[in-house]
Amino acid sequence: MDRTDATAPGPRESMGTRFARVGRGIRWYVTTLMGDRAYDVYVRHLRAHHPQAQPLTERQFWRQRSDEQDRNPGARCC
């Protein structure tokens, strides 16, 4: 199997560079999974698709998100 994708480690990549890259990937995954990046994603989407709209402040965004989760718990366990 030939790995030619951009995520494949280069032949001269040092062990420290690999650990750093893996660490960044794990951090990205966990912060995305936990929703820590939700506000950044919201602002990026709003600017790209609705440039005339004023984004909520971060505090307003999290309040609205929390209220929405309380109204519609869905598959949450608690």
* pTM to 2 decimal places: 0.57
* pLDDT computed for residue 64 by the predictor: 94
pLDDT, mean over the chain: 82
Give which of 42, 45, 46, 47 is closest to 65, Cα–Cα. Answer: 42
Confidence of residue 16 (pLDDT cuts 50, 70, 90): confident
User: For residue 43, what pLDDT band results from cuts at 50, 70 and 90?
Assistant: very high
Task: Give me the residue spans of the domains in the chain.
Answer: 37-72
* CA dihedral of residues 11, 17, 20, 22 (deg, nearest 10): 10
Q: How far apart are CA 62 and CA 40, in angstroms?
A: 12
Write out pLDDT tens, residues 45-62.
999 999 999 999 999 999
